[in-house]
Amino acid sequence: MLPYLNLPPISLGPITIQPFGLSVAAAALIGLAIAQKRYTRYGLDPELGERLSWWAVGGGFLGAHLFAVLFYFPGQLARDPLLLLRLWDHISSFGGMIGGAIGGALFLKYRAPRFDERTRWSYLDAACVAFAVSLTIGRIGCAMVHDHPGRVTDFPLAVSLESPAAQALIANAYAGANAIDQSPLPASLGALGFHDLGLYELLYLALIVLPVMFLLDRTPRRPGFFVVVFAALYMPVRFGLDFLRVSDATYAGLTPAQWAALAALLALPLVWKQAVTWPPIARHSAPSNPVREARSR
């Protein structure tokens, strides 16, 4: 099994840097840089693309918090309605995806209303690979702080429960789920481990999703292609991993993320049906007329 390592906060005088916060900041900045290169690569307006990206980032942070408190922590929200305003408390990756998609769609609708559907999907598709990279970097932070502990297991890739700190972490997870009776006895914990779902997702993204997307990116693709590929690769695995969770809220037996994953998978045929009607995105071409028109606004 893997050893339990927990990177502590870094103190720089009066400033304390949290490893998870550092990974989120790095994910956002690197994702923005990659997106900019892709806008230029596909002959899209990089200035407009940058504004789109910031709308997506802002919507992503807002959506991550709202989705988490509304669906994962409704009890806490009922006791403390101000939790809704504390954007730094509780975030959800699926909420970030939904919020980012809504932010990007709103930008394209109201800031670039002359774009046709193909052009809008060209921008979204150009950003999709960048988002996959950002999600992977963000999962590094999740793995460092073990903020998605799963069930106790003897799986070889599990994180060992030999240390008292690891045992305290998993005890809190089972207690938060009111499932103390399902946790193994303390005497046997040292020989077991726990599913670290943030680590599992990091490995899957880094070893499967990103290599496949970069390989497919070697030839021109239709607008919407990478949105479909990412969802087809990511959603089923995320749906399955959530069955290993301990303390997440469930609705009709499924977590909010699982319901969101199902909705995304059901929407894939509709996106693909539209995407196959468009020609591939040409590379290194001049911006199309709708882009130039948007810049002049």
Count Cβ atoms below 10 Å from residue 184 Cβ, excluding itself: 14
> E-assigned strands of 181-259?
193-196
223, 108 contact by CB (below 8 A): no
List of residues 6+ apart from 106 with CB closer than 8 A: 55, 59
What are the residues facing 17 on neighbouring strands? 10
pLDDT, tens digit, 9 for 90 and up, residues 84-119: 999 888 889 999 999 999 999 999 999 988 898 899
> What is each CA distance from 60 to 57, 82, 149, 293, in whole angstroms?
5, 20, 23, 27
Q: Quick check: 152 pLDDT over 80?
A: yes
pLDDT, tens digit, 9 for 90 and up, residues 237-260: 999 999 999 878 899 999 999 999
pTM of the model: 0.88
- Say how far apart CA 222 and CA 157 lie, in whole Å: 38
Q: Quick check: 162 pLDDT over 60?
A: yes
- Say how far apart CA 77 and CA 15 lie, in whole Å: 30
187, 209 contact by CB (below 8 A): no
Sorted by where each begins, the domain ranges of the chain are 17-295
